[in-house]
Amino acid sequence: MPSAAQPPRAARVPSARDQAPAGFRVFIDFDNTISRGDILDGIIEAFSPTGEWRTLEEAWAAGRIGARECLDGQLRGLRARWPELARHLDGVRLDPGFVLLRDLLRREGIELTIVSDNFDLFLAHVLARNGLADVPCRANHLEFAGDRVVPSFPFSNPECPGCAHCKKTHFLPPNDDARLVVFIGDGRSDICPSTHAGLVFAKDSLLAHLRRAGRPCRAYSDLTEVTEALAIILHENKI
């Protein structure tokens, strides 16, 4: 478990070549998909000394700014040191079905990657605390300068200005292969990758959007349901 005195170090992200080949690979969102609730929103609300974050949120929701501009402004507006943030993150709870999903895919030699609009240090702490530090995770980056945080966006895509972290880049060329992509998500940042995945599990606003757009997806309420569905697919060899 990472120390509350220092932020965790980001682990090496395994590449596809590190994984055993399989018929498909799975990408999953974090906030409100693996976690119970949106932990990044909770951090922003708890550690923002002014209401400027709400102005940015409203501008993003109205489409006047992109997700990267919104998150950059909101994170730079935080005032907190790592020990305070670590204590806050200690209260995060995860969907119990995620461990079942991780274990199923590990047994089957199927690559699982977390792709998140949250930030690497936050996710590293939560995953390690829950015994999940071995799950590859791609997220926005965060560093500290005193009681200020400095965000950066290594997975932004100039061709996709609406995304802070363009999740689809992890499985589109040049990162594609013969495996079918399964994507699991819940919200607005998951719309872009869901339109490029072969099989999508969706809930909440992502599910509503995909249904309005007439795009195929499988509804779920928790990750135990997703695990059971994927186990059936594997057993019946439908993919």
Structure confidence at residue 15 (pLDDT): 37
Let me know: does 163 contact 156? Beta carbons within 8 Å.
yes
- Among the listed ranges 24-28, 60-64, 73-77, which one has the minimum average pLDDT value? 60-64
Instruction: State the pLDDT confidence band at 215, using cuts at 50, 70 and 90.
Output: very high
Share of the chain above pLDDT 90, in %: 82
Whether the predicted pLDDT of 3 surpasses 60: no
The overall pTM is greater than 0.85? yes
At 44, which amino acid appears? I
Compute the distance between CA of residue 168 and CA of residue 172 in angstroms, rounded to an integer: 6
| Average pLDDT for 47-68 | 93
Share of the chain above pLDDT 70, in %: 90
Structure confidence at residue 144 (pLDDT): 93
SS (H, E, C) the chain: CCCCCCCCCCCCCCCHHHCCCCCEEEEECCCCCCECCCHHHHHHHHHCCCCHHHHHHHHHHCCCCCHHHHHHHHHHCCCCCHHHHHHHHCCCCECCHHHHHHHHHHHHCCCEEEEEEEEHHHHHHHHHHCCCCCCCEEEEEEEEECCEEEEECCCCCCCCCCCCCCHHHHCCCCCCCCCEEEEEECCHHHHHHHCCCCEEEECHHHHHHHHHCCCCCEECCCHHHHHHHHHHHHHHCCC
Tokens of 113: 């990657």
181: β partners: 25
Instruction: State the pLDDT confidence band at 4, using cuts at 50, 70 and 90.
Output: low
Number of Cβ atoms within 10 Å of the Cβ of 61: 11
Residue 81, sorted as left (phi over 0), alpha (psi -120 to 50) or beta, turns out to be beta
Structure confidence at residue 114 (pLDDT): 98
159: β partners: none
Structure confidence at residue 7 (pLDDT): 56
Residue 95, sorted as left (phi over 0), alpha (psi -120 to 50) or beta, turns out to be beta
| Average pLDDT for 167-187 | 94
Structure confidence at residue 236 (pLDDT): 77
**Complete domains list, the chain, with CATH:** 20-37+94-236 (3.40.50.1000)
Tokens of 34: 């693996």
Let me know: does 48 contact 85? Beta carbons within 8 Å.
no
What's the pLDDT tens digit per position in 157-171? 988 878 899 999 999
What's the pLDDT tens digit per position in 112-156? 999 999 999 999 999 999 999 999 999 999 999 999 999 999 999
| Average pLDDT for 51-74 | 93
Quote the mean pLDDT of the chain.
89
What's the pLDDT tens digit per position in 194-209? 999 999 999 999 999 9
Structure confidence at residue 160 (pLDDT): 85
